[in-house]
Every structure is written in C-alpha cells, then in structure tokens.
A and B are shown apart, each in its own frame.
Chain A
Amino acid sequence: MDIHVKNENGEVTVTLAGRLDTTTAPALDKTIAEELGGAKTLIFDLKDLAYTSSAGLRCFLKAQKTMNRQGSMKLTNVSQTIMEILEITGFTDFLAVDTQE
C-alpha cells in the first residue's frame, strides 16, 4: 500500500492506494500519529484504495476520535467497493464520506 501525505497549513490530505489490512495498517497508524498534531482538517483520499479490512477501519476510527477533538475529518473519492464495506459495517453512520463521481 502507498501512503502519500500533504500538509497545507493544518489541512492534511492522506492519499491511500492499494490494500489496507493488518499488514499495512500499522504504517498508516504511524503516519497519522505523526501528522495529526495541529491538524484542523483531515482528508483521506481513497480513490485508489482497493480494499480495507477491520484493521483499516480501526485506523479511520482512531483518526476520527482524534479529529473530533481538534477539527474535522472526511473520506473522499470513496469507490463503490469501499463504500459497500463502510455501509454494511455501519461506518457511514459516523464517518463523513464523499463517494467517487
């Protein structure tokens, strides 16, 4: 999985490509922990994310908890496959999600 981070004056965009699972999630956790200090908005660009397991959902959950205290968080460019996972696991109830156009 590829993780790309852009930080512009507290607006952090994390672009993910590939599969987010127990092997790759720890790297994302680490990135988030390093980058979130002072972040006002956090955007996950999931255009090229092919799959997420529970480990990935836990990353989003953790990030959401942090951002609830200091700003806001959003998942963007969510593909239909990922959207389906978010929907059936009930994650759309508490994560802000924009689907792919």
Chain B
Amino acid sequence: MFSVSTKSENGILTAALSGRIDSVNAAEAETKINAAVAGCTGAPVLDAAELAYLSSAGLRVILRLKKAYPGLKIVNVSSEVYEIFDMTGFTEMMEISKAYRKVSVEGCEVIGEGANGIVYRIDEDTIVKVYKNHDALAEIHNERELARKAFVMGVPTAIPYDVVQVGELYGSVFELLNAKSFAKLMIAEPEKTDEYAKQSAEILKTIHSTVLKPGELPDKKAEAVIWAEFCTEYLPADVGEKLLRMMREIPDTQNMIHGDYHIKNIMRQNGENLLIDMDTLAMGHPVFEFAAIYLAYVGFSCIDHNNVKDFLGISYEQARAFWNATLRSYFDTGDEAFLRSIENMSAVIGYARLLRRTVRKSRDSEEYKTKMIDYCKNTLCELVPQTDKLYF
C-alpha cells in the first residue's frame, strides 16, 4: 500500500508519503507523487515520516523527481530509510534529514520555566528545553547554531545536542549544567560583588577578542542605527542628528558580542564559568555590549529601582556597584573620568534602544510608558550634547 497526501504552508508544498515503494508498485507510486506535486511552483518537500521502505525502483522514482525539481528536499526520514539513502549516496545528492528523536518528559523534573519554554531534566547528563509554540523549529535551530559557533570559537558555553520531538512540540537537548548563576551567588555573597564583576569582565574579554568574518553573525551596528533613526522623531533636531551621526561613526568591527550578558546568564560549575542563552549572539563594536549591560543593571530601573530586583534578584545599589566594578576590571583602570565617558556612551546607545522599545512594544501601563519615554528623551538630551563619540 502506498499513498500520498499534500499540504501547502507559506508557499511550500509538502507531500507526505505513506507505506512502501518497491518494484511492484513503483509506477503507481510515481503517478501518485507526480499528481500530488503537479503545478508546484518552488521545490516540493517530501515528508517521509510514514515511509516504511524503498527499493531501488523507489530510489529511481525519487531520482526522476529530483531531476524535475532540483531543490527537492526529504524530511522526517526514519533511521531505516535514512540508511538506504545514505548507503546509496542519495544523502550527498540532496537534502535529506532524519526524523527527530522522540522524547517523553512525563515524570521528568522541571528545572525551569521561561517565556518561551519549559526545561526538563531527562537524564543524568542532559536537559531538554521544550518550546511552547508549535513553529519553534527555526528558532531552535538558530539558537543551537549560535551556541555551537560560540563553543567552537572558544567561548565557554553549554553544548547543544540534538533537536527532539516532545509530543506535538519540539525541544532542544542541552548538556545539564550542575551550576549556580552569578545572580544566585551574588545574592548569597553580596560582599563578593567585586570578585564576580572581575570574573564577568574576564569572560567578556574572551568573547570580544573573538573576531568573526563579515556576515557570520547579525550586525549590531545596523540594528543600533535603526534605534537612532527612530529616536530622531522624538528628539530636538540637533540632538537627534548628532545621535544618528555618532551612531553611524562607530567603527564597523566584527567582534563577537553576547547581546544579553547579565548575571543570570553566567553559570558557575565546579569552579568554571559558562555562559547560557546564546540566542542573541551578534557582532560589532564592544560598545554595543556595554550598552546592553548598562540597560540590564541600570537603565531598565531608571524610573523604578525595583525592576532590577525583580529581574536579577539583586538590589539597585548592588547592580550599580557591579556595573562600575565590571568597567574597572574590563578596562583595567581606576581613571574615573574615562570610566564615566564609557558609561555615558553606553547610556546614550542604551536609552536610544529603550526609547524605541518602550514606544513600540511595552506591555506596561500608559502612565509608566509616558514616564519612561520622558526619561529616555531627557537623558538623551542631556548626554548627547556632552558626548563626542560613541566608541572607545
């Protein structure tokens, strides 16, 4: 028995094959497949989840289809059928991907829950992050690629294993870290704030000393120029123009940038520091990293000092002290005038981003939004005229 059913999503036609294709039914199967993909504009995708077996006659059917549609892809291939494709060299000829391993999280310990997923411990060494939305596959693959890239380039991070199917949802398997976040450690030992800042600065130096090829990661400056362009509509003309000019003048460098570097994303395990959440990895001048860090410890709490407590668990005072100590360690100087100039650059870029973010998608009350927007505008109006450049 062989049957084909089709569905079309985002302009891509997927034909699901079910049963087996051998010398007995190859001609019939070919007719069915051709009818299913007839009139398909781009390249069709064959879903082989229910394809049980394929003989050499079946392979010839696939080959003819590949000739008609050079971009043909086969997905969800079982291990058995994959072996056939692999042995015959088909896997080198076209894109053929295995079905995702199926994992059950029933009875597994829940380790954490975030906005986009739940993390379960599945065995002694691994965890799975199950994404809540059904179409998370692209996001999962992107996050894993970034983590792998960082790891291979020498940035200490947890390694991603495979992508799995958990019921109707998808998950990403990661190595289990038996670790505590810097945030937890700093809550327990506030007197060690300077020491943790020093270690945090060391990791930052490792990240920033990693230089990528153009285009290898998203360009942070391109994003920042959009923030500045947005801000020109909210600022006096001279301030807006100067902000945009200074943002454009930031040198185009290809240093690796974590993008979401704060004490909840730095983990300590057996004396070793590791990073998590690599999905915001980007490249550009390190000043963009400091702008994001400034927001995490200081900027987000500008009109309500409790924000940092809710977000990171430490007091505003401790967060500020941590920010100052991070700067001192990273730049290895006690020159206050220099450090304040770095803080001002970080604040200018940071508030430009925060202004746009607040206007566009804040879930906060109108009153809070208005206050935040005013704060960002006033701070930019104060800092931009005193600033000559946004890089070091």
Contact = CB atoms under 8 A, between A and B. Distances in A.
B159 A57 contact: yes
B148 A54 contact: no
B154 A55 contact: no
Interface in A41-98: 51, 53-55, 57-58, 61, 85, 88-90, 94
Given A61-B154, A89-B148, A54 B270 contact: no
A22 interface: yes
A9 interface: no
Nearest to B159: A54
A54 B161 contact: no
Given A23-B270, A85-B161, A88-B162, A53 B175 contact: yes
A85 B161 CA distance: 7
A88 B148 contact: no
Given A88-B162, A89-B159, A22 B270 contact: yes
A22 B272 contact: yes
Contacts of B151: 54, 57-58
A50 to B, nearest CB: 11
Given A53-B125, A53-B175, A89 B269 contact: no
What does DSSP make chain B's interface, helix, strand, loop or mixed?
mixed
B160 interface: yes
Contacts of B148: 89-90
A54 B158 contact: yes
B159 A22 contact: no
B156 interface: yes
Interface in B124-179: 125, 148, 151-152, 154, 156-162, 175, 178
Contacts of A23: 270
Given A88-B162, A89-B159, A55 B272 contact: yes
Contacts of B161: 85, 88-89
Nearest to B101: A88
Contacts of A55: 272
B126 to A, nearest CB: 10
Contact of B157 (A51, A54, A88): A54
A21 B272 CA distance: 11
A57 B158 CA distance: 11
Contacts of A90: 148, 152
Contacts of A89: 148, 159-161
A1 B157 CA distance: 22
A51 B123 CA distance: 13
A95 B358 CA distance: 47
A54 B152 CA distance: 10
B152 A61 contact: yes
13 contacts: A22-B178, A23-B270, A51-B125, A53-B125, A53-B175, A54-B151, A54-B274, A57-B159, A85-B161, A88-B161, A89-B161, A90-B152, A94-B152
A-B residue pairs, 8 tightest by C-beta: A54-B159, A22-B270, A88-B162, A88-B161, A89-B159, A22-B269, A54-B175, A22-B272
